[in-house]
Amino acid sequence: MLYYIKKYPLSLLVILAVIYLSFFKPPSLNSELLKIPHLDKLVHLCMYGGLSGMLWLEFLRAHRKDDTPLWHAWIGATLCPLFFSGVVELLQEYCTIHRGGDWLDFLANATGVLCATLIAYFGLRRWIS
């Protein structure tokens, strides 16, 4: 466990932030922000895009000098955030009373992970190595 804390400290903080944002009870607001259509989907895209992007960034940074295969990053920075987002949506639906799971939220999560993966694979990977 200490290995992961040393290698991926920012990713762990982002994971904790996503968990908190996914399960806290949001305050009731009468704000102009609520009038923006699909703002929550944009927030989901940014949360999971940031999570996947941070995982890619820290993986590429931590393993640029060793022979760790890139498929580890595909699993850890792409498949795991997708699985995590699905579990969070199911937990929101069945284990909370103030949150509801939504398939469109999961689609926004998957879009964020896909965007971060494409940016990391085609841009960040070449820049770091």
Going from N- to C-terminal start, the domains of the chain cover 37-128
Neighbours of 42 (CB within 10 A): 13
- What number of CA atoms fall less than 13 Å from residue 123's CA on the CB side? 8
> What is the rounded average pLDDT for all residues in the chain?
91
The string of pLDDT tens digits covering residues 2-43 is 888 888 999 999 999 999 999 988 777 667 777 788 888 999
Give the integer Cα–Cα distance in Å for 47 and 74.
18
pTM of structure: 0.90
Return phi, psi of residue 99, to 5°. Answer: -130, 155
- pLDDT at 64 (0 to 100): 85
